Every structure is written in C-alpha cells, then in structure tokens.
A and B are shown apart, each in its own frame.
Chain A
Amino acid sequence: MSDPALCARCKGARRLCGRPKCPILERIEANIKLLERIGKLGAQLYGLTPPSTLVGEYGYPKVNVILNIPPTAEIPADEYEVPEKWWGRKKLEDIIRLRSMLIGSKFRVGIKERDNKLLEAAREAAISIKPVDAEAIFKRPPRFRLSFDGIIAPLGPSGDVKRVYIVGNPVVPRRVDQLMEDEDVRASDAIVELYRSGISVYQIERLLSLGLLGRKRDRRLVPTRWSITATDSVLADRLLKKVREYEEINEIRIYSSEYIGNHYEIIMVPGAWSFEMIEIWLPRTIWVKAEKPYISVNYELHDGKWRKEGVDGGYHAMRMPVLAYLYKERRQARVIAIREVSPSYYAPVGVWQVRESVRAALARGYEKKESLREALYDISKRIKTPMNLVLANSYLLRRMLTQEDLLKYMRH
C-alpha cells in the first residue's frame, strides 16, 4: 500500500489494493477479543431476531443473505439493531459487543430467485418492526468471528443454515404491507412514501435490500451496503426538490456534536442550497498511517449533483439528515458539514454513526454567528485540524469567502 490515501478512499469496502479482504479490517478483527464468548454454539438456535438482516455483495448476482438471531435473552432483542437509540448511549465497545452476540444464519441465493424457503423466512422476519421469534438449524455450528466494514454495522459469527422457521408473528405497519403488495409503485416512490409515513430509514433499507419494494419486474435483492446509500440518496434528492424552493435562512449558524471519536461541525450560511462534506481522518486513525491527516471532500451546488469522483456512503449519510432538517424548517441554506475522526474511533461501526451524529447535532440547535470568519474561528478551537488545511481542501468555503454576488451592482 504505497498510496497513503488509498485506504482512506477505500475504507475496506472497494478492494482498491486488490486483496480479497482488507488487511486493516482483518487486524482490527483479530485484535478485538470477543469480550464474552456466548457459550458453545450448537447447530440449533432459537431466539428473538430484532429483526436484523444483511444482504452481502460478494458473488453478485448470487449473494449471501443473513438473518441475525441473538442466542441469549439477557439483552432485550430490540437493542441489537437500533442505531437511532444507540447514538449517545452506547460506547464503541458496547456496539461491538452487541453486534458480536448476533449469530447469523446464512444462505446463498440469486438476486431474482423466487420460491426460496429460506429467503421467505428472512423476509417474513425483516418486515416486522418488533422482534420476532425465529429458529435456525445450521449445517454445522457457527464459528466465532467478528467482521467490520466502513458502511454496515459490525457482523458477528455466522454459519450456513439448513432451515429457518419464523415462529412468532411479525408486526407489520399497514403502509409497509400496502407498498410490499403494490407491484406497480417504483422503489424510489415507495421509499419516499414509507419515510413520510414515519417508517425509520433502517427499516426502509432492510425492505429495499430484501427486494420487497418496487415494480414487480424490478424487484431483486440489493446488497445492504448499496441499499443504505440508495435509501439516503433517494430521500435526499426528493427532499431537495422542495428545499430548493424554500426561503433562505437569514443568519449564520453552527451546529455540532461528538460521538465515539467522531466530531461534527455543521455550518449553515444564507444562500441557495449547496452542500459540502469535509471528512478528516486524523493521523493514526483506522485508515491513516501517515503523520498527516487525510481529508476527503465532495460537494454539490444548487443542482444537487456531487462534483467529485468517488462519492461514498458517508457523503449521503451526511446529506440526508441535513436536507430532512431543512425540509422540516422550510428553509434552504449553504451547508458545510465537517467530520473529524480521532484515533479513539478504533473500529468502524457503519455509516449510521454519521447519519445519527449529524441528526443529533441538528436536533441540539444552533449557535448564531456574525460572520463566516467568526464561525470558522470558533470551530478551529474545537477541531484538531488547522483551519488553513481545511480551507485549502474545501471548495465551497473558499468560494464563500471570496466570491461576490451581483446584487450590490444591481442596486442603483
């Protein structure tokens, strides 16, 4: 790995170095001791799934589908997969521990396959908004392991299943039921409908990934990693159509939050919608061996199209909550979202962390500033990266500081 930026761009997700498995993630996985071995695993597992499912991407269009079931009832089942409730409450260790206690019952299936009993069972569980009793019978007992990924939440041990039974009754909101039944509604419209009716994005992602939304001929399994980004970008694009018509905010605002070694600063400036993500990985963080921080930037202008190559799930996970917030406020703004990651974020837990942190920062309310310079000065005291380095990497901030507008020449 000669290019120090390679790992930061890849985040273990795109195999940019050409290896089958990310060596950095492998090392993290080896170093984290499973705090509690859950006792010996048998070939049979009975428990309440939160529900928690995963569709892999390896081997696409034949993919692994996993239904996660915790083997113990000591922890309430609905705590294993609730990012919106983890935020601010669970420490990094807690999340890793929770996830390591989920046992995956795994099977392989074509993305358009029909009449697969295992898949039907996984779907039946996935549509529920409450934990469901499930039983899995493995081909051989699952082995202990834990794996990480830049986009999705950590994954515990898993094994190939022979049979899966959903024993309990899934609780399915009416709107979810209707949209699954309706095979004429496009997936993007279904996503928006569900979101409007108050279904969480995590539930929507799950439905989309299991091929339960969309027009009949378009339905297929969607790897979880893709479905997360798709849900964020579909929702954000739809919200943006409205936001672009709203009045501009009339003051400069800063919002901030911090969670498990990730610090966020969000600046809003009066003006037509534009958005920039500035993601900073400090030295000695997961992806950065070098002594210099790695800064990745992407931005969009009023048209809502990102301008640089290599946009990833993190960009969409920041943009979506920002647009949801502006939509609720009926305002538009120019937005700069800074994420600074410190070494204490020693294992990646998924982009939900980004989405929830941005949400939390916005929910907490803003501090009003007199000028952009004042806002940047304030922020420079809270982040470790020198502001000059941030400015040198940013496109929108520099533009805000230097670009005039025509209005003052139009007042005669």
Chain B
Amino acid sequence: MSLKMVFSDARQWRYLVDTFSTLIDEACFIVSPEGVKLRALDPSRIAMIDFFLPPEAFEEFECTEETRLGVNFDDFKKIMRRGKSKDRLELELGESDRRIKIRFLGRAIRTFSLGLLDLGGEELPLPKVPFTVRAKVLSDTMKEALKDAEIVSDYVRLEGSEDKLSVKASSDRGNVEVDFTPESGSLIELEVKEPSSASYSLDYLSDMMKASAISDILTIEFATNKPLALTFDLPGGGRLTFFLAPRIES
C-alpha cells in the first residue's frame, strides 16, 4: 500500500487539523480510492467529528487500497502550523512506511515526517437524530453570534421557528439574543418541521466554529433536547459534520 495526495492550499488543512485537535487527541484518517474520511468521538463522548474529502478535492490523489493513518493531533497540528499561505501540501506514505511524509511545496520544499499510531477500532455509527430544524447560515455570522453569547453564559439555546433561527443566552449576568432572518441576509435557508429549541455547550460550539475559516456556509440541524449537527461544505464536494449532545436543564 502506498499513497500520495496533493492539496492546493496547505492552510485549509491547517485549519482542519487545528479544529480537530481541539476536540480529539488522536484519531485515524481512512484513505481509500473513494477519498479521505475521519470519524471520531471526543474523549467525553459529547461531540463527534465526521469528515469526508473526495479525490476531486485534491490536485493529485493516488491510493490503491484502504489505508489507515492514525495520528496524534497535537503533533500533527504542530507540523501543519508551519504551512504558509501559498504552500501546497503533499501527503505521502511509501510502501511499508511507519511514518507519513508531510511536504509543504512553496518557496522551498519542506518535508516533515510524522509517526503513525496503530489505532484499532471499528467504524463508529453516526448518531441518529430526527432533526426538526434545518438552517443554512453564513458561518461568520454564526461565529459572531456565539461570541456574543459567551459574554453572559457558557451555553446557548437555539430556537427554530417558522420565520427565524435564534441564538439565545442568559444568566444573572444578562441576556443575549441574536436572530437570523431571511431579511437580515445571514439566513440562506430555513426548514422547520416543528418549532424546536435545545441548549448546547459554548465550549464545544466555539471549538467547532474554528472550521468556519474553511467554509463560508454552515448548515445547522437540531431538534428539541436532541443533539445538534453542524455541517460545513468543503471544496470539491467534501464535508465536515460535527455532532454535539445537548444540555438538558432539569
């Protein structure tokens, strides 16, 4: 087994790896002729990452058989942070290699190698949630709304009704409400099967929102007191979905 992938913008991978590393310590990329996937739960099992990038997203993609690349994200992140804005990124694994070569192709060719971890485990099932609200919003605006909410609380309440999506936070320090409406321009699509609301931890949400650097548009799905799914569309038909379990106030 050997593989080689070239990606046109090293920075995008840097943002991805940065985002992953805030949620998980180590995980396995599974590379196959169909593309690259990664699915992992955070150690507290409150959040899940489900990531997929098809061969079309790459400049070059060579992979003949399924290969597992187990990485420690702390180490991976340190290397990826060395990527510069005009660098292309090449990932290469030779026959019987125990280390993956990470190459930044820019003004110089910089090659790093990263030891791979033997991470076993069967594929995780995705959480099954009957979502009742689905909204497409500008990811920047959502990121700002969550920052607004952080001023007063460590969790937010999402509310979906027929004509708007609201982000609310309250505590004895005060209240914050941010509304996304079709008129405001930040709400691109809204589908509501029934009015719904649920609370989620801001710690996790703001970690996940780091991915907004790679994708302008974000799809939010949730249901009353059920997990949330945040999906970022990636170039070339890829996607990155985060699941987050709710907080239930008793």
Residues of A within 8 A of B (CB): 244, 271-274, 301-303, 395, 399, 401-407, 409-410, 412
Contacts and interface: CB of A to CB of B under 8 A. Distances in A.
Contacts of A272: 43-45
22 contacts: A272-B43, A273-B43, A274-B44, A395-B154, A402-B247, A402-B250, A403-B201, A403-B247, A404-B245, A405-B44, A405-B46, A406-B41, A406-B45, A406-B47, A406-B48, A406-B127, A406-B227, A406-B243, A409-B129, A409-B226, A409-B245, A412-B128
Contacts of B245: 403-406, 409
B229 to A, nearest CB: 11
A271 B124 CA distance: 19
A281 B126 CA distance: 46
Interface in B215-250: 226-227, 243, 245-250
A30 B50 CA distance: 64
Contacts of B128: 409-410, 412
Given A272-B45, A406-B41, A406-B48, 11 more contacts: A244-B43, A272-B43, A272-B44, A302-B42, A395-B154, A403-B245, A404-B227, A405-B245, A407-B45, A409-B128, A410-B127
Interface in B51-104: none
A273 B226 CA distance: 25
B237 to A, nearest CB: 26
A3 to B, nearest CB: 18
B162 interface: no
B42 to A, nearest CB: 8
Interface residues of B, number: 28
B201 A405 contact: no
B46 to A, nearest CB: 5
A180 B28 CA distance: 42
A271 B41 CA distance: 13
B201 A410 contact: no
Contacts of B201: 399, 403
Nearest to B246: A404
Given A302-B25, A395-B154, A399-B201, A410 B46 contact: no
Contacts of A401: 250
A273 B201 CA distance: 18
A409 B127 contact: yes
Contacts of A301: 44, 203
Interface of B: 25, 41-48, 124-129, 154, 199, 201, 203, 226-227, 243, 245-250
**What are the 3 tightest A-B residue pairs by CB atom distance, in nearest-first order?**
A272-B43, A409-B127, A405-B45
Given A403-B247, A404-B246, A406-B245, A302 B44 contact: yes
A244 B227 contact: no
A177 to B, nearest CB: 35
A399 B202 CA distance: 12
Nearest to A302: B43
A405 B42 CA distance: 10
A247 to B, nearest CB: 13
A77 B227 CA distance: 62
A363 to B, nearest CB: 28
A402 B247 CA distance: 5
B125 A412 contact: yes
Contacts of A273: 43
Contacts of B125: 410, 412
Contacts of B45: 272, 405-407
Nearest to A411: B125
Given A244-B43, A272-B43, A402 B248 contact: yes
- Find the residue from B46, B125, B128, B250 having the highest chain A CB count within 10 A: B46
A342 B197 CA distance: 44
Given A405-B245, A409-B128, A412-B125, A244 B44 contact: no
Nearest to B127: A409
Nearest to B199: A402
A409 B203 CA distance: 21
A410 B46 CA distance: 12
B126 A410 contact: yes
A271 B44 contact: yes
B247 A404 contact: yes
Contacts of B43: 244, 272-273, 302
Contacts of B126: 410
B129 A410 contact: no
A177 B78 CA distance: 37
Contacts of B129: 409
A403 B198 CA distance: 12
A211 to B, nearest CB: 31
A406 B39 CA distance: 14
A298 to B, nearest CB: 14
Contacts of A271: 44
Contacts of A303: 25
A403 B127 contact: no
B46 A403 contact: yes
A273 B44 CA distance: 8
B46 A406 contact: yes
A399 B48 CA distance: 18
Contacts of A405: 44-46, 245
